[in-house]
Each structure stands twice: as C-alpha cells, then as structure tokens.
Structure 1
Amino acid sequence: MVTIKKTPPLSAYTTFSRAEWAKLSKGKTDHLLSPHERMELEGIYDTISAEEVSEIYLPLSQLLYLHMTQSVSLHQQVNTFLQSRTKKVPFVIGVAGSVSVGKSTTARLIQALASRWPNQPKVELVTTDGFLYPNAVLEERGLMKRKGFPESYDIKRLIHFLYQLKSGCAYIEAPLYSHLSYDVLEDQVQKIEEPDVVIVEGINVLQVNKKDRRMPQVFVSDFFDFSIYVDAEEGDILSWYIERFKLLRNTAFQNPESFFHRYRHLSDREAVEFATDVWHTINGINLEKNIRPTRHRADLILKKEAGHRVSEIRLKKM
C-alpha cells in the first residue's frame, strides 16, 4: 500500500498558539504596567490581566520594536547612501477589527508598551472615528443607519492626514469624536507634534476604496509600517456588544447629554433585543461585508476567545 503524504494547506501566515507565543517574551512586565495602569487602559467591558500583558502584548511590543528599529536603521543607511540628512518619518501601526472586539484596548496597550521601548519614543494614538462625517452630513445623505460603513468616512481627509504624517510634517491636527454626543467635535482637535510612532485605530483602516473610481487608488493601509487585525467569532463579538450596551445603559446613557439618553430606561430584556437588532441590521452586516474581508491584509492577526482572551496569533511570513 502506498501512503500518500498530505501537503499542508498553503498559508501566508505562521500560526502560534497562546503558549507558543508567550514563550517568545524576552522580559517581565512587573515594572512596565502596574495594576492601576492596566485599569486605566481597559475598555468599558474588557479587562486587562497581567497574564494577558505578559503572554500576548509584551511579545507583540517586542516584535514591533524590532520592526521599528529596522526601519530606523534602513533610514540611516539610505541617508548615508544618498549623502543626505533627511529626518525619519513616524513609524505607523494600524489596528483594525470589528465594533466591540477590543481593538481600542489593544491600541492603548500597544501605545503604553511602545512608549517604554529603550529609545523612549513619542507615541501618538489616533482613532478614525474623528474622520467620520458629522451627523448633519450623514443625515443629509441618508447614512445615519450606515454609520461605520466605508461611505460614512471622509476618506480623503484621512488620506491627507496620513500624507502629512508620512511627509514629515512637524505639526498635524486630527479631528476628534465624542462617543457621548455620538458626533465629531467641531471645536476640538488632537494636536500631533513630531511623533516617533503613530498608532491608527479603526474598523476601516484596512479597507480599500472600491466604489469611488474617481479617487486615486491610494489606501489607508498604504501608509502603515505594520498592521494588526483583532479577530473573534461573531457570536463572541455579539455577546460583548450586548453586554457593553447594557453597561452603557446604566452609565453613560444616564447623562442627559448622551445621544443614547433615550435608552436609559430599557429593561434587560429590551436592551438585549435592541442591541441584537442593531447588530444584525448594521454592525453584523458591516463586519461581514466590509471589515472581516480585510483581515488577510494585516501583518498580524490576534484571535480572541470568550473573555477577550487571545488564543491564537497569526504572523504574516516575510
């Protein structure tokens, strides 16, 4: 009998279990993030354990540091070759993923750990929420129920911001967004001055512009030096979305200035039904059609399981 040896399926990624990834860590985190600092970085529903930092995010931070130092080294060598003295532009990290998957917490953790790298870089975090069109514009265009979909973002403005960043502009302003008013802030901006590292976080950062053929074929991710996609099964994400909605109902929604103040008196059953309906009619569709299809464009994928615990890491081969 002839034994046919099965060829493993082709993949652009190397997959690591949680245990395999944790072994890559080159140091301890006791002196990096205190319990208070971890609490400050936590999202409204996802908590950050010391174990998660040491086993997942410290190796990730060390990998990013390798990429950043190689970028600096290459810049210096090119300057020598060209006999020039151009200034190094920021190292840009993109973080993508679904609503409620915990990408904002991941971005904050990376920012906190990156700021502690040996060269103590200046690290800025920019969210693409600020690049949404204002609610007035979305209402005018009939897009309020498609908020978060590609067409609800001012992509030209976001691309221009990234052009400025990668052109070495000493000072740039980024628009800010309020989750309380559920709108872009007209009179406030994020001031960014000579950063070494910039993290750009948002559901849309790995998407490509397929609809407007008039725009140059330049994508947000073209400006990234490294990109991360935070992944999870949709059932888990929906569960986190519902629990977050219930928590917000009892906290932020109680504020009369909250856009969602009208939902503050929903019962648990009503809150679950409402959040589930919003998910299936808006966020779930956006995840399936626009967000998850971009996952393969990321350099690294963090796969989460219940409790926001990372269970698997996929790193794109070089």
Structure 2
Amino acid sequence: MTSANQIHNALYLAFQRVQWAELRNSVPLTLNETDLANLRGINEKISLTEVTDIYLPLSRLLNLIVGAKQQRGLTLNQFLGHTPPKRPYIISIAGSVAVGKSTTARILQALLRQWPEHPQVDLITTDGFLYPLSELKRRGLLQRKGFPESYDMKLLIEFITQIKSGDASVNAPLYSHITYDRIPHQYQVINQPDILILEGLNVLQTGQDSTFDTKRPFLSDFVDFSVYVDSSKSLLKQWYVERFLQFRKGAFANPKSYFHHYSHLSDEESVQIASNIWDSINGPNLQLNIEPTRDRAHLILQKGPDHLMDQVLLRK
C-alpha cells in the first residue's frame, strides 16, 4: 500500500536550506533593513539572510516561470493574429493563521517588482471578502470566521474572474484588523498588473473540499502558481499565542479595536484566552480546511523555530 510520504516524495523535490540558497544564482538583494522592517509581520524575526537564502531564489524561479508564460502568450497571440487584454499572472499564498503568509506575500511583492519584465505587482488578501460582521452574526458564523463558509465566495469569484479576463479597474473590498470588519465603501483598485499576489487561508481549496455545488468554479481554478507556508501545529499555536500577546499591547489597545476588551488582560489570562481561541477555531480550521490543501501547492515553504525556513519543497 502506498503511504502518504511516498506520494509526497513522488510529487515534490526537497531542498534543504543550503541547497535552496545556492539557486539564487547571483540575483542581487534589493531590500535593506528599513525595507524589511516595513514588510515584517507582528512577532516575526525575519532577517536579510532569510530573504537572501529563501526569497531571492523563489523570486528568480517565479521570474523565469512568469517569463515563460509571457512568451507563450506572445506566441499564441501571433498565431491567432490578435492582441487580447493584459491578463495578470496570479500567485496564491496559503497557510495557517500566524504562519507568516502576509510577510511572505509582502516580501515576494517587493522582490518581484524589481524584475523589469513585470514591474507592476499588486497584492490583495482574501480578508476583504469575508462577510461583514453583521452578516456573519445573522448567519450564526461569528465563531466560524475564517472557515470557508464565512467568505462571500460569489463576490470573490466575480472579482478573480474579472482580473483573469483582463478587466481594468477591478475593485477589491478592504478589511480593517482594528474593527475586525470589512470597511464599507472602500476598495483597493486593481488595474491590470503584471502579477497579482493573492494571500489567504483557503486559496488552494478545490471542488474536492466541497460537499455541495462542486460544478461552480473555485479560486484555485484561476491561480497560475501557488505557495503554501507550512509549520508544525505546536509551533503555529505558540506563534498565535505570542502574536495575541503582542496585539494586546498594540492593536488591541486602540479604543476603536473590536478586541479592545482584551487589552486589560494579564499575561496569564491572555495566554489562556488565546489558547482557547486556537483550540476552538483556528486549530480545527487548519486541520479540516487548510492543511488538507497543502499538497496541491506548487511550492511549500516549511518553517522551523524562530520562523526560519528549513526546507523548500518544489512540485516536480
């Protein structure tokens, strides 16, 4: 009987950190410490060494892949004798809460912008496509926020369809981590970028994950290249609790914060509440809906302690 590990080994090429770093092939580092400070997420310790060893080789790989796709498009257009609208190359970044998806997305955006073949690189998160708080409450989904059913998938699919069709000036709803809600009547305008990076919990889900209406399109149907940021469940829970403690001193202290009532908790109370939230919401969502999509990714970044990548898996 074929084991899960055998299937995994058949699908991916595994690179230890040193091996992967060698694939940088002299790509220059265009970020400095100030740039990195602006890209770093809460409770992350990412360094320029991490960018050099992990993200520069990935930037080089993506540049080669995007270039090949662009060249294929030019060849097809020449054959057909017409010029279609500009269609962005779409990269998705998936993974658990607290794994560092947002930081990975921001660093990739900054690096990919430096390549002359695709200078316009936009980034959106799927947070803006969560149902508004009022709708989540109406549907009884407030404690399921982040689960697949908490997203307005019709709106998200309409958005990504317009992007992939080459439409100009497509609006993506904005989300506030202060109010924990979609911002009414405010949008990020996406205007035919060369590359669109799409970051979110469930961007790798397909019809295999749905128990209903599997004929409808899924977000993953529109993605050209997918990245999954991975780590052990124990580290993810630890990072979530540590991030909660950081938020308690930072964002939660804002009187307008949805979680302002947490700002007065003691360390012990904060750890207990964060652990309960992880065990009742984020942990189950990871196990049921996010982790099962991991092996569909084109590339898996595996993190060890201190948020440092220790292995990269590249689909064959």
TM-score where L is the length of structure 2: 0.95
Which secondary structure does the structure 2 equivalent of 1:218 belong to? coil
In 1, Cα distance between equivalents of 2:294 and 2:130: 21
Q: What whole-Å deviation, never above 9, does each CA across 1:147-182 have from its counterpart, x for those lacking one? A: 000000011111111100010101100001000000
In 1, Cα distance between equivalents of 2:27 and 2:144: 44
Q: What is the aligned partner in structure 1 of residue 77 from structure 2?
A: 79
Q: What is the aligned partner in structure 2 of residue 180 from structure 1?
A: 178
In 2, Cα distance between equivalents of 1:264 and 1:85: 55
Report how far residue 48 of structure 1 moved: 2.2
Pairs within 5 Å for 1:234-249: 234-249=233-248
Q: What whole-Å deviation, never above 9, does each CA across 1:256-310 have from its counterpart, x for those lacking one? A: 0000000111111111010000000000000000000000110000000011100
Q: What whole-Å deviation, never above 9, does each CA across 1:21-75 have from its counterpart, x for those lacking one? A: 0010122544x00110000000011132011000000000000001100010000
Q: What is the aligned partner in structure 1 of residue 231 from structure 2?
A: 232
Count of residues in Structure 1 that have an aligned counterpart in Structure 2 = 309
In 2, Cα distance between equivalents of 1:61 and 1:274: 38
In 2, Cα distance between equivalents of 1:58 and 1:211: 36
Report how far residue 217 of structure 1 moved: 3.0
Tell me if the contact between 1:181 and 1:257 (Cα under 8 Å) persists in the aligned partners: yes
Report how far residue 250 of structure 1 moved: 0.7
Equivalent residue letter for 1:252: A
Equivalent residue letter for 2:281: I
Larger mean Cα displacement after TM superposition, 81-90 or 11-20: 81-90
Pairs within 5 Å for 1:194-205: 194-205=192-203
Tell me if the contact between 2:40 and 2:103 (Cα under 8 Å) persists in the aligned partners: yes
Q: What is the aligned partner in structure 2 of residue 47 from structure 1?
A: 45
Q: What is the aligned partner in structure 2 of residue 117 from structure 1?
A: 115
1:163 is aligned, of 161, 164, 172, to: 161
Tell me if the contact between 2:245 and 2:267 (Cα under 8 Å) persists in the aligned partners: yes
Tell me if the contact between 1:114 and 1:123 (Cα under 8 Å) persists in the aligned partners: yes
Equivalent residue letter for 2:73: H
1:36 is aligned, of 28, 34, 37, to: 34
| Structure 1 residues 149 and 70, CA gap change in structure 2 (3 angstroms) | same
In 1, Cα distance between equivalents of 2:148 and 2:118: 35
Identity of aligned residues (%): 49
Which secondary structure does the structure 1 equivalent of 2:115 belong to? coil
Equivalent residue letter for 1:279: W
Pairs within 5 Å for 1:94-133: 94-133=92-131
Which secondary structure does the structure 2 equivalent of 1:118 belong to? coil
The answer to whether 1:278 aligns with 2:277 is: yes
Q: What is the aligned partner in structure 1 of residue 146 from structure 2?
A: 148
Q: What is the aligned partner in structure 2 of residue 22 from structure 1?
A: 21
In 2, Cα distance between equivalents of 1:214 and 1:19: 45
In 2, Cα distance between equivalents of 1:120 and 1:94: 17
Can you give the 5+ residue segments of structure 2 that lack an aligned partner in the other structure?
A: none
Between Structure 1 and Structure 2, which shows a larger proportion of helix residues? 2
In 2, Cα distance between equivalents of 1:9 and 1:200: 30
In 1, Cα distance between equivalents of 2:257 and 2:229: 28
TM-score where L is the length of structure 1: 0.94
The answer to whether 1:9 aligns with 2:3 is: no
In 2, Cα distance between equivalents of 1:44 and 1:259: 18
Pairs within 5 Å for 1:231-310: 231-310=230-309
Which secondary structure does the structure 2 equivalent of 1:244 belong to? helix
Q: What is the aligned partner in structure 1 of residue 64 from structure 2?
A: 66
Equivalent residue letter for 2:279: H
Can you give the 5+ residue segments of structure 1 that lack an aligned partner in the other structure?
A: 1-7
Equivalent residue letter for 2:121: V
In 2, Cα distance between equivalents of 1:112 and 1:126: 14
Equivalent residue letter for 1:15: A
| Structure 1 residues 229 and 90, CA gap change in structure 2 (3 angstroms) | same
In 1, Cα distance between equivalents of 2:140 and 2:85: 44
In 1, Cα distance between equivalents of 2:266 and 2:157: 42
Which secondary structure does the structure 2 equivalent of 1:24 belong to? helix
1:189 is aligned, of 168, 187, 203, to: 187
Equivalent residue letter for 1:55: D
Larger mean Cα displacement after TM superposition, 116-125 or 235-244: 116-125
Flag as ranges the 4+ runs of structure 1 deviating above 6 A: none
Tell me if the contact between 1:207 and 1:294 (Cα under 8 Å) persists in the aligned partners: yes
Tell me if the contact between 1:72 and 1:88 (Cα under 8 Å) persists in the aligned partners: no
Equivalent residue letter for 1:163: T
Larger mean Cα displacement after TM superposition, 173-182 or 83-92: 83-92
